[in-house]
Amino acid sequence: MLSGCALVAMCKLLEMLGMLSEGSYAPPSCPAPLMSKAQEAWVGEGEISSFVKRNRMRLRVKFETAYEKSGFFLQCTVCVRSAPAGSEHIAIAGWGLPAAGSTCMQDGKGMYKTDTRCALSLPRFSSPFACRSFASAASGAGASAAQAAPPKSSQSLSAKGQGASSGREPYDVFIIGGGVSGTALLYELAAFTNLRRLGLVERRSAFGVVQSNPRNNSQTIHCGDIETNYTLQKARVVKRQADMLRNFATKLPPSVRDKVVFRFPKMALAVGPEECDFMEKRFKIFRELFTSLQLINKQQICEVEPRVGLRSSNFERPEEVCAMYVPNEYTGVDYVHLAEAFVEQAKALGSDKKIDLGLNTEVLEIRREREDLFSIRTNRGVKQARFVVVSACGHSLLFAQRMGYGLQYSCLPMAGSFYFTERMLNGKVYTVQDSRLPFAAVHGDPDVVAQGLTRFGPTALPLPLLERFNICTLPDFLRVVNPDLNLLKVYIELLNTRHMRNYVLRNFLFEVPVLNHHLFAKDVSKIVPSIKPEDLKYAKGFGGVRPQLIDKEQKKLLLGEGKIMTGENIIFNITPSPGGTTCLGTAQTDLKEIVKQLGAEFNEKAFNKTLLDGEYPVVY
């Protein structure tokens, strides 16, 4: 018989290859468990399906074991010899994997053996379950479960210091996703509405560790001043929301603020006469919106960013260059610390409310019970809510389509990689985006996590995953890609030009060792003329996925953040760049819809004072 570790490794490998279906592996033998006649057992909460037939009860549970990260269920068929048929409760002990009984069973007297079959089965999701107790079957159908407290865990938190609520009263609003978008909404609902019961779940062990992780994004507060693909209208909208974020952050205690936002100069660099002409015209249009914006020449660039203006220590670069420049403002951000700050502020300002936070909590299904009530089935039990907001990036589209919404959309996940150098830049340096391409141009940024390094990127690589470096999201991508003839037409249109085909091929080559350094150095030389391939180091483990939506009905790629507003008490947010910057604005849109549908109150005066007034006043 395989050891526990070997079994886990084999099954995970088969799972990744799609070769193992649920319940397809059965160990040749399993030691019989012990069953208590009078005591209680700790078993997994979540999805527990059972039936009793001929004194046989079938339970599907997950034990908390040393192997819980492998994500296996233990599927059991237990023959109850001594308990009456139709017993409502049963107590079982773990077996099959080492140490299962040590965390899931409270042994007592009167133990006896049962005839048992068991099999390992792979779940769709793999986070640990909470625990709850069930009375022994031998106590009779009418026996009541003792009120034993479950083991303490950091996986469930509450504003009142309690675990995630398992009561029957529904939440007013239930948020799925603990990234910066979900936590921003939690903060706004707690601080500026009279809604009393709020819930948020995140499948990871901390907030903001997927797309909000600074390793997975450019750590930038986008305003539209140096992003040359933004129109004035879009820049006006994004700047308003960026200023809301900065007003929130600058009002935090300095020790917290300095972990959330960072001051840097920034510029949009133009190289060559055509780009310089474009930049000068753009400056005339945008300077009314961005009052601190300056247009600087080559000599001034050499002063503020020497490695950009000089080709060597003594000589200026030969090309004609200019730049739109902002001297120094909060333009860098760590979205993990921002998400944590949102949660802490929500708990502090909503201390008189019931706010439940569940980490390590996978949402398995969202089901509408009636017009104003949803059931959310998780691996920690079933929750109910009057309004649901799904802020789970690309997975939001998956949940939407399972419920019949957003079927006109497909998803094109664009992965981005980065490269590190020793410090070369004092601030953020963006370049003019190629108007023939729908993707951002390479830029350079001081990294807020890897202190002392400059990060260049991102590349743009289509990848069939909803999360970078997570092969388990391949099946989810295959579900949301939603292929048909219209989607094929969109792809043909995207790749219809030689320029686009070369761009895609080049970005594939950016992932090839050795060759990538030479190719990428050529791109970066537009920013730093003196850079050499050996200066670049591939940022292993850095780079996220932007889930770009494709509208198959309109036959086009949709850029920017996506939202599915159903008008039926559920919202789905799909938030590629600049979704982090616009998190408070996105939350405000959701808040207004929630208040409207639930008949709640919105303290707009307090909202404006907190988020629109401050170091970055919003006057439009």
Per residue in 34-49, pLDDT (tens digit) is 323 222 233 333 333 3
What's the rounded Cα separation, in Å, for the pair 239 and 524?
A: 27
Residues of the chain by 3-state class (helix, strand, coil), percent to 5: 30, 25, 45
- Select, from the ranges 18-32, 199-213, 506-520, the one with the highest average predicted confidence (pLDDT): 199-213
Residue 193 confidence (pLDDT) above 70: yes
Residue 29 confidence (pLDDT) above 70: no
What's the rounded Cα separation, in Å, for the pair 571 and 385?
A: 13
The Cα-based distances of 554 to 218, 534, 549, 558, 565 in angstroms read 30, 45, 12, 10, 18
Residue 237 confidence (pLDDT) above 80: yes
pLDDT of residue 353: 95
pLDDT of residue 561: 67
pLDDT of residue 40: 28
170: left (phi over 0), alpha (psi -120 to 50) or beta: beta
Q: At residue 16, what is the residue type? A: M
Per residue in 328-386, pLDDT (tens digit) is 999 999 999 999 999 999 999 988 999 999 999 999 999 999 989 999 999 999 999 99
Residue 315 confidence (pLDDT) above 60: yes
Using 50, 70 and 90 to split pLDDT, how confident is the model at 405? very high
DSSP letter for 441, please.
P
Please say whether the beta carbons of 538 and 516 come within 8 A. Answer: yes
pLDDT of residue 434: 86
Lowest-pLDDT range of 122-126, 194-198, 272-276, 556-560: 122-126
The Cα-based distances of 523 to 153, 226, 433, 517, 518 in angstroms read 49, 18, 12, 10, 9
Top pLDDT among 440 and 529 is at 529
Residue 319 confidence (pLDDT) above 60: yes
- Averaged over 609-619, what is the pLDDT? 95
Q: How far apart are the first and last CA of the chain?
A: 70
Q: Mapping DSSP to helix (H, G, I), strand (E, B) and coil, where does residue 540 land?
A: coil
Please say whether the beta carbons of 357 and 144 come within 8 A. Answer: no
Instruction: Say what the pTM is.
Output: 0.73
Nearest to 91 by CA among 73, 112, 72: 112
pLDDT of residue 369: 94
Which residues contact residue 512 at a Cβ distance below 8 angstroms, ignoring those fewer than 6 apart? none
Lowest-pLDDT range of 27-36, 522-531, 594-603: 27-36
pLDDT of residue 510: 84
What's the rounded Cα separation, in Å, for the pair 186 and 175?
A: 8
Using 50, 70 and 90 to split pLDDT, how confident is the model at 606? very high
What's the rounded Cα separation, in Å, for the pair 549 and 563?
A: 10
Top pLDDT among 178 and 438 is at 178
What b-and-e string marks burial along 418-431, b requiring 16 or more CB atoms within 10 Å of the CB?
Answer: bbbbeebbbbbbbb
- Averaged over 17-25, what is the pLDDT? 33
Instruction: Please state the domain extents for the chain.
Output: 4-139
Mark out the alpha helices in 466-525 (DSSP H runs).
Answer: 474-480, 485-494, 498-509, 515-524
Lowest-pLDDT range of 75-84, 267-276, 443-452: 75-84
457: left (phi over 0), alpha (psi -120 to 50) or beta: left
Using 50, 70 and 90 to split pLDDT, how confident is the model at 108? very low
What's the rounded Cα separation, in Å, for the pair 509 and 209?
A: 28
pLDDT of residue 495: 85
- Averaged over 258-283, what is the pLDDT? 97
Residue 53 confidence (pLDDT) above 60: no
Residue 21 confidence (pLDDT) above 90: no
Residue 594 confidence (pLDDT) above 90: yes
Which residues contact residue 557 at a Cβ distance below 8 angstroms, ignoring those fewer than 6 apart? 412, 438, 490, 494, 548, 549, 550
Average pLDDT, the chain: 77
Residue 139 confidence (pLDDT) above 90: no
